[in-house]
């Protein structure tokens, strides 16, 4: 198991949140078992001297080239309650995205219908049998002559949603060649960062707001 320094944002008996570096898988795949989940399990096992397997439930995933907050459940009770919170859209995610060019408006709501295969998503007609409604809100945080830093708030959580919708308005995310970016970043990463996560703690019922600094 490859070890990396972990940026722990929050931990208690029920939850642990980590600032994932861009370029690292959230969960292992058949082709690659080096992942944030695996590294974190090893870290928990060593820190708490746990015998046997460590339980760790992934609440949400980030694409490999994306950085930012990933939340894990340390118990099955926390996992089931947070999954229910995700399904009922009680969990609020805010991203920072550095895009090429400048959007047509200072702030706006984007709505599309998306479909996807295993590797790529695309905008499609609403009557397509695989179409799923996608909605987000953005506002401009900073602009220079070539790129714009956006704050993006998701209303839905579709596959590659921010990447596709930014590209659809003519402003692909910097480094995201899959969706039309003309700029490249080291290691195939893209300039998208999960910066803030708001949710209700599944056990204490306290409102939580986790933030992860970004270099965008």
Question: Which residues does the annotation mark as catalytic?
Answer: 63
Classify strands 207-211 and 92-100 as parallel, antiparallel or unpaired: unpaired
Residue 164, H or E segment: helix 161-168
Residue 67 contacts residue 22 (beta carbons within 8 Å) = yes
Torsion (CA) 185, 216, 25, 68 in degrees, nearest 10: 180
Is-contact 120 160, C-beta < 8 A?
yes
The residue to which tokens 């930012």 are assigned: 68
The DSSP annotation for 20-45 comes to EPTTSBSS--SS---BHHHHHHHHHH
Q: Say how many residues make up the chain.
A: 216
Choose among 91, 49, 68: nearest CA to 9.
Answer: 68
Residue found by looking up tokens 């708001």 in the block: 198
């Amino acid at each position: 198991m490859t070890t990396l320094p972990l940026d722990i944002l929050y931990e208690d008996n029920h939850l642990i949140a980590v600032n994932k570096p861009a370029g690292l898988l959230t969960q292992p795949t058949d082709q690659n078992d080096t992942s944030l989940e695996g590294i974190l399990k090893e870290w928990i096992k060593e820190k708490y001297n746990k015998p046997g397997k460590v339980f760790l439930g992934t609440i949400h995933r980030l694409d490999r080239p994306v950085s930012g907050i990933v939340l894990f459940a340390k118990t099955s009770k926390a996992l089931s309650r947070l999954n229910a919170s995700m399904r009922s859209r009680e969990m609020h995610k805010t991203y920072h995205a550095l895009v090429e060019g400048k959007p047509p408006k200072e702030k706006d709501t984007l709505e599309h219908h998306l479909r996807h295969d295993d590797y790529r998503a695309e905008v499609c007609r609403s009557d397509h049998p695989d179409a799923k409604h996608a909605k987000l809100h953005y506002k401009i945080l900073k602009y220079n002559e070539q790129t714009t830093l956006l704050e993006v708030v998701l209303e839905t959580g579709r596959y590659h949603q921010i990447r596709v919708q930014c590209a659809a308005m003519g402003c692909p995310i910097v480094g995201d060649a899959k969706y039309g970016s003309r700029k490249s970043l080291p290691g195939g990463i893209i300039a998208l960062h999960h910066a803030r996560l708001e949710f209700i703690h599944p056990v204490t019922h306290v409102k939580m707001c986790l933030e992860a600094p970004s270099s965008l």
